[in-house]
């Protein structure tokens, strides 16, 4: 009888320890599962970050190449103008002793080419100055500098400026605008803020949103010290797209806020003038 009691007691103790061990084991397994889930999520996050950084690097490389091409294009324009001036000077010297109408026309052509060269020199110098000043911001992916229809355009990255469908500037966007304004306000040139949208939604709503966003950027620039006489704002809605609106990526490209250098009359003359090499030929 006593032996039977001892056996029952031993079995009871073993069952209790077995239950305790099983409970601890289950807790350990649950903790390991949670740890594995955490590591998998961390791996996914790191993979997404790597993809984002790789995409950003590709975009910055593309922007840098575009800036290089623009600089080379401006330099090529300067070279052409200098060649035209040289041809004009040679023709003037060749006809200097004749004193006829052709000499007078060539002299006028030479003066015109000289004006075009001065304008081109100023544009090239301004572009190089802006590119150097914006280097840290372009390298950080905050803005892009381009030439559109002969006009210098600075485009801030839209995702740091506004939330979708909103016209209130984000904190990160305000900091980028302030940094940009510190560079622009010392150049004594006129700039226009241009808001653009994609084609999703009603055109009147898009137009209103583009205007509101342009004004929001303008207010931040004024607060940072931009002289009011050097800045204006405009909204173009969906009517000046840079890409089709057929894909998500293209619509994102069309949603943009640009700061455009307002050309003066002489710069418009340069854009509309005949090709430099034809100026002298027209005076034959």
| DSSP sequence for 73-124 | HHHHHHHHHHHHHHHHHHHHHHHTTT-SHHHHHHHHHHHHHHHHHHHHHHHH
Q: Helix (H, G, I), strand (E, B), or coil: what is residue 141?
A: coil
Question: What's the pLDDT at 232?
Answer: 95
Estimate to the nearest angstrom the gap between the alpha carbon of 95 and the chain centroid. 51
pLDDT of residue 60: 56
Task: Enumerate domains of the chain plus CATH numbers.
Answer: 64-141+266-284 (no CATH), 151-262 (3.30.1330.60)
C-alpha distances out from residue 265 to 16, 104, 146, 150, 271, Å: 95, 25, 21, 13, 10
Residues of the chain with confidence (pLDDT) below 50: 13, 276-277, 279
Identify which of 267, 263, 270, 119 has the alpha carbon closest to the alpha carbon of residue 189.
Answer: 263
Q: Edge-to-edge, what's the strand order for the sheet holding 231-235?
A: 143-148, 151-156, 256-261, 191-196, 231-235
pLDDT for position 276: 47
Provide the token pair at 243.
Answer: 């890409």
Distances (CA, A) of 207 to 156, 199, 204, 253, 256: 19, 10, 5, 17, 13
Lookup result for tokens 């607060």: 223
- Letter string b/e over residues 133-143, b meaning 16 or more CB atoms within 10 A of that residue's CB: bbeebbeebbb
What is the pLDDT, as a whole number, of residue 117?
73
Nearest to residue 68, comparing CAs of 120, 112, 131, 118?
131
3-state secondary structure of 64: helix
Q: Mind listing the pLDDT tens digit for each residue in 61-106? A: 666 666 667 667 767 777 777 777 677 666 666 665 555 666 666 6
CB 193 within 8 A of CB 257: yes
DSSP 247: S
Contact 245, 198 (CB under 8 A): yes
């Amino acid at each position: 009888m006593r032996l039977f009691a001892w056996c029952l007691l031993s079995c009871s103790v073993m069952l209790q320890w077995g239950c305790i061990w099983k409970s601890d084991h289950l807790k350990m397994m649950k903790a390991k599962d949670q740890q594995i889930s955490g590591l998998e999520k961390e791996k996914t996050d790191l993979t997404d970050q790597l993809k984002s950084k790789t995409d950003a690097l590709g975009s910055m490389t593309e922007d840098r190449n575009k800036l290089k091409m623009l600089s080379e294009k401006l330099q090529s324009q300067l070279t052409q103008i200098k060649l035209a001036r040289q041809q004009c000077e040679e023709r003037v010297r060749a006809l200097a002793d004749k004193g006829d109408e052709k000499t007078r026309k060539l002299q006028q052509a030479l003066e015109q080419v000289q004006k075009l060269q001065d304008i081109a020199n100023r544009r090239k110098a301004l572009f190089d100055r802006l590119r150097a000043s914006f280097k840290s911001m372009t390298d950080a992916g905050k803005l892009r500098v381009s030439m559109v229809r002969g006009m210098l355009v600075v485009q801030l990255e839209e995702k740091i400026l506004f939330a979708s469908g909103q016209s209130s500037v984000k904190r990160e966007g305000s900091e980028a605008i302030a940094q940009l304004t510190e560079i622009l306000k010392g150049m004594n040139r006129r700039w226009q803020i241009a808001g653009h949208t994609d084609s999703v939604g009603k055109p009147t709503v898009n137009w209103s949103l583009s205007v509101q966003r342009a004004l929001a950027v303008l207010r931040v620039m004024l607060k940072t010290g931009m002289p009011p006489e050097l800045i204006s704002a405009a909204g173009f809605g969906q009517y000046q797209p840079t890409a089709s609106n057929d894909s998500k990526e293209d619509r994102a490209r069309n949603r943009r806020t640009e700061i455009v250098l307002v050309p003066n009359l002489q710069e418009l003359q340069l854009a509309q003038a005949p090709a430099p090499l034809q100026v002298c030929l027209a005076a034959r």
